[in-house]
Amino acid sequence: MALVAAYYLVARFTTNVVAIIVALGLGYLVMFVLSTLAEQRILRALPPMLATDS
């Protein structure tokens, strides 16, 4: 969904083929940010003993 939204957003400003490449980059960036936020929410919900790295 993020990839499609990024493509349509970029395609409104340009009709170039580069729009597809830029949209892919933006889509992956959005997915990375969303997954990082989701991971932080999950780690905060865990008990402190389970949330440590060791």
Using alpha carbons, select from 33, 6, 35 the residue that is nearest to residue 21. Answer: 6
**Confidence check: pLDDT of 52 > 80:** no
pLDDT for 47 equals: 82
What pLDDT is recorded for position 53? 63
The alpha-helical segments, DSSP class H, found in the chain are: 2-11, 18-45, 48-51
pLDDT in tens, 20-48: 777 778 888 888 999 999 999 998 888 87
Domain ranges in the chain are 2-49
Q: Are 11 and 19 in contact (CB under 8 A)?
A: yes
The pTM (predicted TM-score) of the whole model is 0.60
